[in-house]
Every structure is written in structure tokens, then in C-alpha cells.
């Protein structure tokens, strides 16, 4: 029987009480909205809230002058006392975030909005059309607390509710965008949630081909030139195993053996995704394999060890930024007769 480390998954069922916008693509007179809320958006909003609540103005000013992520991490870890900010910077991840998934995205187009040319803030500047997710649209997301981070469970719940009602998420918060209310909170132990996910997949005998279909974008952090994409299958196999090793340290109590994959066929659509880094105060852009891209794996045998690896990675994602919801996938089985 598989036993994971102590942990809890908190699922927030929410509803927008004002329009939400996070820029997905910029055109000359139109800002397209992303069809999701990044897990890093939730992480950044929560971390910023806890920093403002727990750090003195003097410490916050020191943080603003720091650029090296290692120094920022150390700055928080040496802080004395029970401070929730620590758990965002631990060496082994103790807080993970999912994407915010809209049940039925309903787009609206506010007539015009005045934006600053440099940072798109809501001040004097150019006029553009703005695509946004409409008020009353429902969405849900998860925050996963591992081991010591369970100590701040109640603080996390209160912070999410406060941020939703009084701060907002996404862009244009200064004019009231991105506000939401929490309608319900569901909780699962890590082990029970894993068992539920396992029931969704039936690994029958005779299966030799498995298709992994992306539910969230997968960061292709290895990409530097077009020829790299020719090696995507081999690289994907390594990404899968590397993430498994990380998760075995963070979530599982034992080591995991590498499984040999004979062949990987990639069918991908590429896009660019941008996120704002709270730590370095900069915007980061990545090439990604977009949602519904697929990777077909061929292997001589589907062992229990390999099933476990696939299930674990489907839950927690693979690749860069996977702790923030990127690289999650569904598992589709195919029998050896191709059916």
C-alpha cells in the first residue's frame, strides 16, 4: 500500500465579484485575457499578503533592494518566530498551488480603459479595449500544504478570503478588478486524494501505449533553438523522471526507480506564457507546450512503479513551474491492438 507524506489539499470554490484580467496576448488596441488563473498568481498574492502582515517596513525595504533569489530565500528562512512567509521559501517545497480553472469562461469587453504606456497601470495613457472574465464566473483552485506547512492552514484560509474580498488577483486591481468570494472550502488528506485520482485510471493488462494529454501548459525550459524540438521525446522522458525524483523527496517516503521508455511521440502546440516574479520584481517569459498537447509513451511493460510515477506527476505536474500548477496532464491508455 502506497503511503505519502503528511499533507493536506485545500480546494477553494470561488466566484468572481468583479471582472478578472490577466494579459495573455497584447495587440495594438486589445489586451487578450488568459483563460485561466496561474498558480503563481495565487502564490504571489498570498506571499505578498503575508509579507505585508508579518514583516516590518524596514525589512520590506531591504527585500526591495535584493535581486538574488538565494539571498531572498535566506532572508526569510532565518527570520525568528512563527512566520508563514518561511514556507514559501523552504529548500524542499512545502506549499504547492494549482491553476484557477473557470467553469465556463464568459468574456466581456469593457469599452475603453486608460492605461500607462510603460507599465499598463490604470492612469493617464493610451486607450485600449480590454478582454476580461465576467463577474459571477465560478472557478476553483487548490493549495497543497506539506508537513510543517500544515501549521499555517488557518492563516492560509483567512488570507485567501481577505485577498478575494479586499485585494483582488490578476491585473488592474487598483480599479477593483479580480475580486472574488469563497463559496466553499473542501479538504482532502494527501493520501485520500491520491487514492481518488488513482480510481480514475484503469491500467489494464496488455497496455503498452500511454498518451499523456496536457491539462495545463508545460514549460519547455530546455528550448534554445529549433533543432531542440526534434529531441523533445527524449527530453520529455527525462523531465518525467526528474520530476518524479523531486516528488519522491517532497511527497513520497521512499526512492523511485527509473522506468525505461522505448519511445515518445510528441504532438504539441507551442505558446508563450508570462508570469510576474514577486521575488525578483521582474516578468518571466517561457515557451510552453499548450493545453491539449500530447505525448505518447511506448514501453515494454507498465510496472506498478511506472503507474505510480505517472499518477504522481499527473497530480503535481512536471517541468519548470510545476509547483505552481504547470505541466499537469490526463492519462489515456491504449491497448496493443491500437484501440
Query: What are the φ and ψ backbone dihedral angles of 8, each rounded to 5 degrees?
Result: -140, 140
What's the pLDDT at 61?
85
Query: Which is more confidently placed, 88 or 65?
Result: 88
Q: Going by C-beta distance under 8 Å and a sequence separation of 6 or more, which residues neighbour residue 119?
A: none
Q: Which element (helix H / strand E) includes 162?
A: helix 153-162
Q: Dump pLDDT digits (tens) for 1-19.
A: 577 888 999 999 999 999 9
Q: Which element (helix H / strand E) includes 228?
A: none
> For the chain, what's the residue count?
339
What's the pLDDT at 123?
54
Query: What are the φ and ψ backbone dihedral angles of 262, each rounded to 5 degrees?
Result: -70, -40
Rounded CA separation 260/65 (Å): 47
Grid cell locating 281: 520584481
Residue 118 reports pLDDT greater than 70: no
What Cα–Cα distance (Å) separates residue 333 from each residue in 22, 169, 217?
35, 37, 21
Rounded CA separation 180/161 (Å): 8
Burial class (CB in 10 A: 0-12, 13-18, 19+), 186: exposed
Helix (H, G, I), strand (E, B) or coil at 175: helix
Domains and CATH numbers, the chain: 7-192 (3.30.70), 202-335 (2.60.40.4350)
Q: Rounded mean pLDDT of the chain?
A: 84
Nearest to 295 by CA among 256, 248, 325, 332: 332
Model pTM greater than 0.85?
yes
- How much is the average pLDDT of 330-337? 70
Rounded CA separation 309/302 (Å): 11
Amino acid at each position: 500500500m502506497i503511503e505519502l507524506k503528511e499533507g493536506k489539499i485545500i480546494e477553494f470554490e470561488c466566484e468572481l465579484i468583479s471582472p478578472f484580467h490577466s494579459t495573455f496576448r497584447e495587440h495594438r488596441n486589445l489586451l487578450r485575457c488568459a483563460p485561466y488563473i496561474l498558480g503563481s498568481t495565487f502564490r504571489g498574492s498570498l506571499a505578498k499578503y503575508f509579507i505585508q502582515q508579518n514583516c516590518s517596513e524596514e525589512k520590506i525595504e531591504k527585500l526591495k533592494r535584493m535581486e538574488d533569489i538565494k539571498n531572498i530565500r535566506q532572508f526569510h528562512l532565518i527570520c525568528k518566530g512563527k512566520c508563514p512567509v518561511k514556507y514559501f521559501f523552504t529548500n524542499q517545497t512545502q506549499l504547492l498551488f494549482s491553476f484557477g480553472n473557470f467553469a465556463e469562461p464568459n468574456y466581456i469587453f469593457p469599452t475603453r480603459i486608460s492605461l500607462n504606456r510603460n507599465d499598463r497601470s490604470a492612469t493617464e495613457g493610451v486607450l485600449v479595449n480590454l478582454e476580461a472574465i465576467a463577474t459571477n464566473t465560478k472557478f476553483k483552485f487548490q493549495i497543497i500544504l506539506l508537513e510543517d506547512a500544515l501549521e499555517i492552514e488557518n492563516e492560509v484560509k483567512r488570507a485567501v478570503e481577505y485577498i478575494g474580498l479586499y485585494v483582488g488577483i490578476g491585473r488592474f486591481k487598483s480599479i477593483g478588478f479580480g475580486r472574488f468570494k469563497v463559496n466553499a472550502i473542501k479538504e482532502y488528506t494527501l493520501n485520500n486524494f491520491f487514492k481518488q485520482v488513482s480510481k480514475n485510471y484503469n491500467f489494464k493488462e496488455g497496455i503498452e501505449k500511454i498518451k499523456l494529454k496536457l491539462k495545463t501548459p508545460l514549460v519547455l525550459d530546455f528550448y534554445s533553438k529549433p533543432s531542440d524540438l526534434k529531441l523533445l521525446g527524449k527530453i520529455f522522458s527525462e523531465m518525467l523522471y526528474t520530476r518524479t525524483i523531486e516528488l519522491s523527496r517532497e511527497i513520497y517516503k521512499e526512492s523511485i526507480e527509473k522506468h525505461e521508455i522505448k519511445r515518445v511521440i510528441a504532438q504539441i502546440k507551442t505558446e508563450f506564457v508570462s508570469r510576474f516574479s514577486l521575488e525578483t520584481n521582474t516578468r518571466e517569459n517561457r515557451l510552453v507546450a499548450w493545453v491539449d498537447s500530447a505525448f505518447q509513451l511506448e514501453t515494454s511493460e507498465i510496472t506498478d512503479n511506472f503507474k505510480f510515477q505517472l499518477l504522481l506527476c499527473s497530480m503535481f505536474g512536471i517541468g519548470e513551474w510545476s509547483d505552481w500548477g504547470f505541466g499537469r496532464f490526463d492519462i489515456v491508455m491504449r491497448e496493443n491492438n491500437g484501440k
